Amino acid sequence: MLAYITGIVLFALAILISVSLHEFGHMLTAKGFGMKVTRYFVGFGPTLWSFHKGETEYGVKGIPLGGFVKIVGMTPLEEDEEELNEADKKRVFWRKPLWQRTVVLAAGSVTHFIIGFVALWILVSFVGVVANPAHAAAFDESQENAQVAVSQCVESTDTAAPAGDCPDGQIEGPAYAAGIQDGDSITAVGGTAINGWESLVATVTKLTPDEPVAVTVDSDGTTKTVEVTPYAATVENEDGTTETVARLGVVGYVDPAIAPTIAVGPIDGIGETFTTTGDMFKETFIALGQLPSKIPPLWDAIMGGERSADSPVSVVGASRLGGEMVQYDQWAMFFMLLVVLNYFIGIFNLLPLLPMDGGHIAIAWYEKARSWIALKRGKIDPGRVDYMKLMPLTYAVIVLLGGFMLLTITADIVNPITIFN
């Protein structure tokens, strides 16, 4: 349990650092172009601590859910420029060339891409990871039988059990000890037929820890029955309480033919990282296109239906998955999940909708195009876009995103995705 909680905290902290670096990217490029930056804070709400360096106030606020940077003149809703001296008026955001404003606005997403790329390069070069990380936890649930990967060591409440070659606090996985191998399909447990991963989870949960049970396995077309003694594991319920349940020490299997592992060294790793990044970007755009169709199943999961492993998750759900990965010593998967999350945030933030950075970029280029057309037609430059007229649309986007976030958080609390059994 300690490892699980540690994993949750580490993943949430990694997300906070990533978002803070996103804002740092905005600030760094803005300062580089001579724009006036007045504030850079990690978190929201009441200020816990801050200091001034030059014209910028840096600090930490009480609610650790992100961060922000204040660039003077980023929108017409910013500070009154009449309060600025003549030198600073030339430094406001909107007076800078379009290409500089675009760079500053895109810098947050670019920061996410850099974080993801560097982490992915380290993984593919020196560790070896699933080449298609978007499917790392989304194993095939449509298969008739539950194809599994086996954990050699597992955490258990039974501290008196033999640990084997496992580290302190862990014991040898029952499925591993019984000779079940990665890629085997479990077809029956205690006489109960298994027809998929969800069926396996439900059946194993009903078993009694430390009582041997017959497990039927299909291994490369050969059927065999082995005796497995489930171990006692502590799981967290949706209401925050914990209970002890039976577990076999298996996880959902990802076919290497679909998602091969690679560890190719630092030079070849550059090319592999670009290739894998391209695949991940493609998967992200596909996922964004499918997002509306994921909402009804998400609602069904909240109402008690099965939760698909590839359904959307919130920061809460991602952190819980990170906790599981640390609990079972799956650090490569932990960092791969962070890579996927950084790439997704980077792409999502560039969508041409307010309040995302992509919306501000779209408006900046629209203003430029409108001014150019007016000049060609001999008309007066219409000037800047009236942001007040866009506020209803902005609020609509905020409400939709807020509703979707609330939906995913609820699903992650009521019916969370679990990738280890």
Q: Residue 406: exposed, middle, or buried by beta-carbon count in 10 A (0-12, 13-18, 19+)? A: exposed
Give the separation between CA 287 and CA 273, rounded to whole angstroms: 20
| Other beta carbons less than 10 A from residue 393's beta carbon | 12
Nearest 10 degrees: CA dihedral of 223, 254, 176, 205? -90
Distance from the Cα of residue 420 to its chain's centroid: 18
* Closest to 280 in 3D by CA, of 128, 114, 115, 120: 120
Contact 329, 153 (CB under 8 A): yes
23 is catalytic: yes
Catalytic residue among 23, 155, 172, 272: 23
Contact between 412 and 311 (Cβ < 8 Å)? no
Residue at 76: amino acid letter: P
Q: Residue 184 CB: number of other CB atoms within 10 A?
A: 25
For residue 110, with 0-12 CB atoms within 10 Å meaning exposed, 13-18 middle and 19 or more buried, which class applies? middle
Whole-number Å distance between alpha carbons of 64 and 70? 18
Catalytic residues: 23
